[in-house]
Structure formats: structure tokens, C-alpha cells
Structure 1
Amino acid sequence: MSENNVTNENAETMADALNSVETVHVGDTVKAEVLAVEDKQLVVGIEGTGVEGVVPLKELSTQPIEDINSVAKVGDKLDLVVISTIGKDKENGQYLLSKKRVEAQKVWKDIQAKFDAGETITAPVTSVVKGGLVVNAGVRGFIPASMVEDHFVEDLASYKGQDLELKIVEIDPAENRLILSHRAIVEASKKEARKEIFEKIQPGDVIEGKVARLTNFGAFVDLGGVDGLVHVSEIAFDHVDKPSDVLKVGQDVKVKVLAVDEDRDRISLSIKATLPQPWDNIETEAPEGSVLKGTVKRLTSFGAFVEVFPGVEGLVHISQISHEHIEKPQDVLAEGQEIDVKVLSVDPTQHRLALSIKALTEAPAGSENHENNNSNNRGGNRNSNRGGESRGRRGGRREEHTSIPAEYQQDDSGFTLGDLIGQQLKDAAKGNDED
């Protein structure tokens, strides 16, 4: 073989080798071998190029890395994305590469596939920012505050570190934009649970629940995916100013179902209906002749209603307030006043409790004769009254009588009309007698 032929073959071999060297461009995905592992980076050789590059620690993974040696070792082959060049000499220079961005590309493809299929993803909340939550879904995802729950959440701090199931609302890999919703998951879950619960529960059922939210007008109780409302008036037999005074969020409670309205998506509940009834054992708790402490709850023209136990009120008729004549209970009593009362009679069936204040005080001197005289006068007054009524009818004159307001004629205390009008009838008879 001639010298010229050898020279030509060597030239062709060198040309072929140069032609086989691939050109590296920013944005390319290349394969590289780990040449060295340093504290903050990997040094790699890009296959088919004869050039080296570096992979910074922050570009190694989408997940936090504590030890770089746990990610790669010398000899490993990695798929990398070219981020930029380092140095002006292309052949002898180096490239800045990223393994994290290759992983992100795969993550975006996987998220896109789940989005297209209508599937959900689960991701941990990494931080709380203004307006919502940031999650790590392999790529950065954002949950707007309005999409965290199906109700307003004032403080989102408690969500940090939680794994949340999320619906993909918007995805744009080119803009690195991923919008997610946990509210959609909550609503879908509650919808399914709601359907099951509405099919299962009936008015009158007693079930277990957990206090989910407290408002000024009541407590919302989670029945297992559906919230029912316990109105403030249904929390206890005694008066409750604010639900938060007696209940706490997360507290387990027993409730009775009062009403179910699936069309309006409402369940009315009661806690007090599961408690012992106030009038149970009232004959033992408040026997006739016993002395109790009570609180004046209501004042009417005919007497005072006094609460002696939570949910148990008795009537102190105006004639039982004082040994002395009083025009109206408000003259000597005030709502909220604490007093001692004596039990005159008990009727647990009708929920009636007759009480007296004056029975606990000594009658003024001479009051016995005064009462006797009043007794005699009452007989005379009745006769005079009848005569007066006859005269009134004959003469066409219409008599004026004191009447009980309609709302008291069937008062929920259980007292009859005759019980409530006593003093007023006495006063009316006395007035007719004087006429």
C-alpha cells in the first residue's frame, strides 16, 4: 500500500471521528456518565460528544436531597437536560445539566395523562403562602385558598405537611403552571356520603357525631360526611348564650334526628333530646314542701316563672309573692333575680310546679284577721258582683272585666286559665263590689 493511500485512510478515519461527535444544544436531553461526585455537584461526561458538564445539587432531583451520594455514584448513566453552556470554548468548555428537569418532564406527562383520564393525584403540602397552599406533586402545584375546603378556612397553617388528595383543575407545563383543588374532592366525598346518610337516617334516630363547626346560631355536627345543624335552642335544657360556651370543635356528641329534608339538603338535630328529661323524677327532686333556689325567668301580670332546675320552671302566682298586696310582680321582682321558693304542689304529668315566696316569710302582725276579713269580703263581693252583673244586663250597661292575654291562656307551664287569673278575678270582684 502506497504512502498516499495510508495518508488518505488516516484522514478519512479522523474525519469520520469528527463527524461522529454530536453537537450539544441548550434544551437537548442527553445521556451522560458520572465521572466524579463532589459535595455540591456531579461531574459528568456527555456520551458521543467528548465534552464534560456539571449537575448542581439543586438540579439533581425534584425531591429534597440530604446526601448527594444517595443520588448517584461514579459510573452511573444519567438522562440529563442541557440548561446552559459554561465557557466560550465549545470543545473544551462544559455544560450545565439537570436531572431534575428530566424527572419533571416525566411528571408533567404523568399528570397530563391523569388529567385527561379524570383521575386525581395525592401530594404533600410543602408551604402556606398568601392566597393558598403549595404542594409537591413532583412539580410545584398550587391550591388557591377558595379550593382548599367547601367552607371558608381562616388559618391554613394546619395543612402544612398534610398529604391531600387533589383534583387537577388546570395544567400548563410550558408555563410550569399546575392548579389543584381539594375542595372538589371534599364535595364529591360528601355527595356520596350524603346520599347514603339520607337513605339511612330517619327522624327519631339517635346517632353519634362530631362537632365540625360552631356559629352564633348553633353547631354543625359531622354525621360521617354530612353536617347536620343543632340549633342553639336544642343544645341544652338550660339557656345557652353561645354554642362555644358548652361545645368544642372535634367533640364527640350524641344527637337525635329531628327532621330530614333531602331536597333542601338539611338535617335538623338535637343534643338536649338525648339528655335526661328535666321533669323526670321531679317529685323526688322537688317534693311538696321543699325549699329550692331558683332564678326568675319571666314576669307576667299574674305572676313570676321561676327556673328551679335546668328546663324546669314553676309559677309563683302574684298572690304567693308577698303577704302584702302588690299591683304587679315587677314591683318586687326582676328577671334574672335569684330567690328561694317553697314547693306548694307538683304535677309531673302536666309539667306543673306551684311555688311560693311568701310561704318562706313570716306574716306581718294582724295579717291573720286581715285574711279572714278578706275571705268574708270575697263571699260578699261574689254576691254583689252577681247582683251588679244582673243590674248591668237589665240596664244595658256593659261591665268591664280584667282578662288574661291570649298567649297566657295556654301557657306552656301547664297551668290552667283558672290557676293564672286568681288575683285578677279578686281585683275585678272587689271593683264591682265598690261600684
Structure 2
Amino acid sequence: MSEAMDFVDEVNVGDTVIAEVLTIDDDGQVIVGLQSGEEGVIHPRELSSQPFEDVNEIVKVGDEIEVVVIKEVQDKEQGSYQLSKKRVDAQKVWKELEEKFNNGETIEAPVTRVVKGGLVVDCGVRGFIPASLVDVNYIEDFSAYVGQTLELVITEIEPSENRLILSHKAIQEKELENQKAETLENLEEGQVVTGKVARIVDFGAFIDLGGVDGLVHISEIAHEHVDNPSDYLTAGEEIEVKVLSVDPEKERISLSRKEVLAGPWDGIEEKITKDDVVDGKVKRLVDFGAFVEVLPGVEGLLHISQIAHRHINTPHEVLEAGQEIQVKVLEVSEAEERLSLSLKALEEPTPEDKANQNNNKPKNNQRGGGNRSRSQNRQTQETEIESSFNIGDILGDQLSGLNLDDSE
């Protein structure tokens, strides 16, 4: 027994005193001796805040323990006082928690159960995590947290009211801030990185790169035209992206998915060969023909001379944008990303077409040839801006019958 307590001869309710474990009865009650020479009893429920099966897990005969006097007992058969070890332990825990709170320290505690509005944790005393402070993301079912030990921040503490409010979300937010700073510091233009699709919007998708999101604009999702980003990406999936630009101050990151994908023209000569008949969609009409998409991102030129056997003045006489047609491949070049197509090659000319072709053959005279050449030059200038097709591709058989060697 502690010498400091040898002279204690009076015990009052509320006092914290040293007691010696004398015996443990059949009901699990602990009988202790006090320095005053009197005895007290500790009921099992006052031994520990932790669940236990055997009293000997908590105390043993001969142990000296600190207890608080709860009340004086009238029937002194089992002692003069009811005592509590659990409440003394709780006082020590509250004191430690207050010190950690004042010092800004975090604590760790296991989740014991889910209750309405949040989680209960065991910190030596009961702690509560409100649902809004559990996670940075919305959580519908908290049952997975039971049994987990979480790092926590103390947001409110009031021992006199047994009030201890905690936050796990604050830990996550701090980790994300650190991760964001590290990610922004290490990202460089031109890097290929892996990220997770955080959310999809009308104008693209935000990719989580580790604490910070980067934007893949809708124009950078695929080589072909994209109307709806959700047709190409799914929230939660991991994808590779190329960093186009980084602005650490504004925390703005531009990304590209299509830059890490094979180009639409890569291996085109293995997919399409000369004389193939393929399905396509008319993407746009120009004076000298139509551009037809035959594969995603791959457009070929259907020259006006290859649209019909009869003479037509504009492609609009036969085709319209969005129309689906079959065409024959006249030429394909991966290196030049060029595809020449024909619609008339899939049709037999009618007798009327043949007659019109004979009537429309150009005369071999200087003035007509000169005027036609100037018109063709204008078309050529427009074409060089819009496509990679050469003069022969664009003018097609319009040059047949011309004698450009005539001189005055």
C-alpha cells in the first residue's frame, strides 16, 4: 500500500483513493481494502469501459488500483463503499485527450458500431464521428467501417458532458492537400500519367491524378469527333493521359487522352486496301466533292468526278451531309493520310449517262482550255487548305481531253 496514503483515516464520496484487491467473489465483484481500514466493493460494470469475460483480465488479487468513491453503503456486509475503477480510468483518458486537443495532435481509435447520424468509436471513452465528418466522399452505408481503426482529429471535447466529437474527414483532407502539392510539383508537360475518371461533364471529363483533377476537354478524348464524353469514358475507370499544360498557381491541368491512343490512320493500309468496297458517312460537301468518313477519324475524298457517271455541277445534286453510302477505294496511303474514293465505280452507267459523257467531252481549243485551267487553279488553292490530296486527286478526270501544250 502506498505510504503516501497511510495516514488517510476518512473517506468521502467523490474521493479518488488507492485500494488493494482482497478477493473476487462468485458474482465477479471485487472486494478491496482502503487505507482507512474499511472495505469497498467494485461491481463488474464499474471495472472497465472495455468488454471482458473474466474479471482477472482487469484486476488480480493483490493489485493496488486507483478507484473513486461512488457512494457509502448502508449494508456493510460487503464493504462500506461502492467504488469505481472505470471512472478513474475515464478521467485519465479525458485528461490525455484534452492535452492532445490543445496540442493539435491526432488520435487513433477503433469503430465499435454504426448509429443514427454517424459512427461510435472507443477512445477509452465514447467518441462520436458525425456522418458529415466520416469521409470526403458521400458514404451511403457505414457498416464497412465497423472494426476499422481510424486516425482522427478532435473537433470538440467536453469531459463534464462526456462529449467527444471527432473527424476522419479532416485527416483525408490534409492528406489530399499534401498529395495535391506533390502532384503539381512533379507534373510536367509531355508526361504520360495514369489517372482515374472522377466525373464526366458535357465539355469533357475530370481526371483525378492524385489529390488534384485535370481536364480532358471533349476535343481531346478521341481522334474522331465526340458528341458525348460518356460514350467513351466511365466514372471510376483508370486511363492513361498526356499532360498538355500545368498551371500550379491556378491548379489547372490540361490533359489529352487521344494523344496516347493510336492514330486513326495508323495501320490504315492493313484495314483498307485498294478496290475495297466500304461503308461511309458523308461528313461535309465542298465544291470539288465530298469528304466521307469510312472509319472513326478517317475521311476520304470522293471527288466530284467520282460521284456519278453523268455530269454534275455540284455534289449537292447527289449527296447530302450525314448520308450513309457505299464507296470503292481507289487509293490509300498511310504516310500521306490520303484516301481516294469513288461512288460511280459501284454503278453501271445508263445509256443516257454514256450519251451525256460524249456530248460533254471538252473541245481542244486554246480559249476554253485557258478559262477551265484558271477555274481549276482556284479549286486547287482551296483544296490545299482543306486536305492532303494532290491536284490529280481533286481534279480527277476533268483534265481528260485538254491539250495544255497549245501555244499562240
Question: What TM-score results when the alignment is normalised by the length of structure 1?
Answer: 0.68
Q: For the residues of structure 1 that align with 2:44 and 2:231, how far apart are their CA atoms?
A: 54
Task: Provide, for residues 160-210 of structure 1, a one-character-per-residue CA deviation record: whole Å limited to 9, x for no partner.
Answer: 443332233232222222233333333333333333333332110123x34
Of the three residues 23, 31, 36, the one matched with 1:35 is 23
> Which ranges of structure 2 fall in alignment gaps of 5 or more residues?
1-6, 399-408
Alignment CA distance shift 1:24-1:258 (3 Å): same
Q: For the residues of structure 2 that align with 1:420 and 1:34, how far apart are their CA atoms?
A: 108
Q: For the residues of structure 1 that align with 2:92 and 2:231, how far apart are their CA atoms?
A: 50
Residue of structure 2 equivalent to 1:45: 32
SS at match of 1:354: strand
Alignment CA distance shift 1:83-1:332 (3 Å): farther
Q: Report deviation, 1:153.
A: 1.7
Q: For the residues of structure 2 that align with 1:297 and 1:408, how far apart are their CA atoms?
A: 17
Q: Report deviation, 1:262.
A: 0.7
Q: Report deviation, 1:284.
A: 3.5
Q: For the residues of structure 1 that align with 2:218 and 2:286, how far apart are their CA atoms?
A: 29
Q: Report deviation, 1:252.
A: 4.2
Cα contact 1:318–1:329 (8 A) shared by 2: no
Cα contact 2:33–2:39 (8 A) shared by 1: yes
**Equivalent residues in 2 for 1:5-404 (5 A)?**
21-26=9-14, 28=16, 31=19, 33=21, 35-36=23-24, 41-48=28-35, 50-57=38-45, 59-65=46-52, 67-83=54-70, 88-89=74-75, 97-150=83-136, 152-155=137-140, 157=142, 158-207=144-193, 209-211=194-196, 213-217=198-202, 218-238=204-224, 239=226, 241-243=228-230, 246-247=233-234, 249=236, 251-294=237-280, 296=281, 298-300=283-285, 305-316=291-302, 320-321=306-307, 335=322, 339-348=325-334, 351-376=337-362, 383=368
Amino acid at match of 2:19: K
Task: Provide, for residues 300-326 of structure 1, a one-character-per-residue CA deviation record: whole Å limited to 9, x for no partner.
Answer: 466654433333233445665555769
Alignment CA distance shift 1:213-1:341 (3 Å): same
Amino acid at match of 1:42: Q
Q: Report deviation, 1:26.
A: 4.4
Q: Report deviation, 1:110.
A: 1.9
Q: For the residues of structure 1 that align with 2:131 and 2:108, how far apart are their CA atoms?
A: 17
Cα contact 2:290–2:315 (8 A) shared by 1: no
Task: Provide, for residues 14-57 of structure 1, a one-character-per-residue CA deviation record: whole Å limited to 9, x for no partner.
Answer: xxxxx965334147465352622656x43332523524323334
Count of equivalent residues: 378
Q: For the residues of structure 1 that align with 2:120 and 2:231, how far apart are their CA atoms?
A: 32
Q: For the residues of structure 2 that align with 1:275 and 1:313, how far apart are their CA atoms?
A: 18
Q: Report deviation, 1:334.
A: 6.7
Cα contact 2:293–2:300 (8 A) shared by 1: yes
Alignment CA distance shift 1:113-1:348 (3 Å): same
Q: For the residues of structure 2 that align with 1:237 and 1:84, how far apart are their CA atoms?
A: 81
Q: For the residues of structure 1 that align with 2:94 and 2:295, how far apart are their CA atoms?
A: 66
> Which ranges of structure 1 fall in alignment gaps of 5 or more residues?
1-18, 390-402, 426-435
Task: Provide, for residues 69-113 of structure 1, a one-character-per-residue CA deviation record: whole Å limited to 9, x for no partner.
Answer: 43334444333334556x654786775544333332222222222
Task: Provide, for residues 218-247 of structure 1, a one-character-per-residue CA deviation record: whole Å limited to 9, x for no partner.
Answer: 544443444433345434435473448644
SS at match of 1:215: strand
Cα contact 2:41–2:78 (8 A) shared by 1: no
Q: Give identity over the alignment, percent.
A: 45
Alignment CA distance shift 1:168-1:203 (3 Å): same
Q: For the residues of structure 1 that align with 2:293 and 2:324, how far apart are their CA atoms?
A: 9
Residue of structure 1 equivalent to 2:404: none
Cα contact 2:285–2:321 (8 A) shared by 1: no
Task: Provide, for residues 345-366 of structure 1, a one-character-per-residue CA deviation record: whole Å limited to 9, x for no partner.
Answer: 3354554433334433333344
SS at match of 2:348: coil
Q: For the residues of structure 2 that align with 1:159 and 1:360, how far apart are their CA atoms?
A: 67
Task: Provide, for residues 238-276 of structure 1, a one-character-per-residue CA deviation record: whole Å limited to 9, x for no partner.
Answer: 547344864452x44332111101111122222321122
Amino acid at match of 2:43: V
Q: Report deviation, 1:277.
A: 1.9
Aligned alpha-carbon RMSD (Å):
4.4
SS at match of 1:268: strand
Alignment CA distance shift 1:297-1:98 (3 Å): farther
